[in-house]
Structure 1
Amino acid sequence: MRVALLGAGRIGRRHAARLTVTPGVADLVVADAEPRRAAALAEAVGARPARTVGEVFTSAGVDAVVIATATASHAALITRAARAGLPAFCEKPVAPDLAGTIAALREVEAAGTLLQIGFQRRFDAGFLAAREALRSGALGRVHTIRCVTSDAAPPPPDFLPLSGGLFRDCMVHDFDAVRWLTGREVTEVYARGSNGGAAFFREAGDVDTAAALLLLDDGTLVTATATRYNGAGYDVRVELSGERDQWVAGLDDRAPLTSAEPGGPAAPRRPWPDFQERFEDAFRAELAAFVRAARGLAPNPCPGAEGLRALHIAEACEVSRREARPVRLADVG
Structure 2
Amino acid sequence: MKLLQVAVLGAGRIGSYHVELLERQVEGIQVRGVYDLDRTRAQAVVDKFQLPRTYESVDEALGDEAVDVVLIASSTDQHATQIKQAAAAGKQIFCEKPIDLQLDAIDDALAAVKKHGVHLHVGFNRRFDRNFAEVKRLLETGAIGASHVLRITSRDPAPPPAEYVKVSGGIYKDMMIHDLDMARFLLGPDVESVTAFGSVMIDPAIGKAGDVDTAIAVLRYRSGAQAIIENSRQAPYGYDQRIEVHGEKGVLNADNMRDHTVTLGDRKGYHNPALPRFFVERYHQAYVNQFKAFVETLSRSGQPMPVSGEDGRAAVLLAEACTRSLKEGRTVRLEEFV
Q: What band does the TM-score fall into relative to the shorter chain?
A: over 0.9
Structure 1: 5+ residue runs without aligned partners? none
Q: CA distance change for structure 1 residues 183 and 94 in 2, over 3 Å: closer, same or farther?
A: same
Residue matched to 2:288 = 284
Is residue 149 from structure 1 mapped to residue 154 from structure 2 by the alignment? yes
Q: List gaps (5 residues or longer) in structure 2.
A: none
1:234 aligns with 2:265: no
Q: Could you tell which deviates more after superposition, 58-67 or 219-228? A: 58-67
Aligned with 1:164 (options 152, 166, 169): 169
Q: 1:45 — aligned with what? A: 49
Q: Which residue in the other structure is 1:274 paired with?
A: 278
Answer whether contact 1:7 1:69 (CA < 8 A) is retained: yes
Bigger mean CA offset, 306-315 vs 267-276:
267-276
Q: Separation in 1 of the partners of 2:200 and 2:31?
A: 46
Query: Out of 74, 93, 107, which is 2:79 matched to?
Result: 74
| Residue of structure 2 in register with 1:12 after alignment | 15
Look up the equivalent residue of 2:289 and give its one-letter code: A
Q: Determine the structure 1 residue equivalent to 2:6.
A: 3
**What are the residue-to-residue correspondences of 1:99-138 with 2, within 5 Å?**
99-138=104-143
Shift of 1:332: 2.8
Residues 149, 225 of structure 1: 8 Å contact kept: yes
- CA-to-aligned-CA distance 1:19-62 (integer Å, 9 cap, x gap): 10311114431111111110101111221322223210113631
**1:33/1:93 Cα in 2 relative to 1: closer, same or farther (>3 Å)?**
same
Residues 8, 31 of structure 2: 8 Å contact kept: no
1:225 is aligned to 2:230:
yes
- Decide which moves more: 187-196 or 175-184: 175-184
**Alignment partner of 1:327 is 2:332:** yes
TM-score (norm 2): 0.92
Q: 2:200 aligns with which of 195, 215, 218?
A: 195
Measure, in 1, the Cα distance between the counterparts of 2:270 and 2:28.
43
Contact 1:184 1:217 in 2 (8 A): no
RMSD over aligned CA atoms reads 1.9
Tell me the equivalent position of 1:246. Answer: 251
Tell whether the 8 Å contact from 2:257 to 2:275 is kept in structure 1 after alignment: no
Q: For residues 105-154 of structure 1, what are the alpha-carbon distances to aligned partners after superposition, in whole Å with 9 as ceiling and x for unaligned?
A: 11111111100000111101001100111111111221111011100011
Distance in 1, matches of 2:291 and 2:130, equals 15
Q: Residue 183 of structure 1: CA displacement?
A: 2.3
Q: Which aligned runs of 4 or more in structure 1 are off by greater than 6 angstroms?
A: none
Distance of 1:44 and 1:266 partners within structure 2: 43
Q: Following the alignment from structure 1 to structure 2, what is the Cα–Cα distance between the partners of residues 245 and 188?
A: 25
Q: What's the offset of the Cα at 1:292?
A: 2.4
Identity of paired residues, percent? 37
Deviation, structure 1 residue 230: 0.7
- Of 133-142 and 84-93, more deviation after overlay is shown by 133-142
TM-score where L is the length of structure 1: 0.93
Task: State the distance in 1 between where 2:253 and 2:167 align.
Answer: 32
Task: State the 1:200 CA deviation.
Answer: 2.4
Could you tell me how far 1:296 is from its partner in structure 2?
3.5
Separation (CA, whole Å) in 2 of partners of 1:91 and 1:8? 13
Counterpart of 2:5 in structure 1: which amino acid?
A: R
Cα offsets for 1:80-121 (capped at 9, x unmatched): 110001010001111111111111111111111100000111
Whole-angstrom CA distance in 1 between matches of 2:209 and 2:113: 32
Q: Describe the shift of the 1:289–1:272 C-alpha distance in structure 2 as closer, same or farther (beyond 3 A).
A: same
What secondary structure does 1:43 align onto? Answer: helix
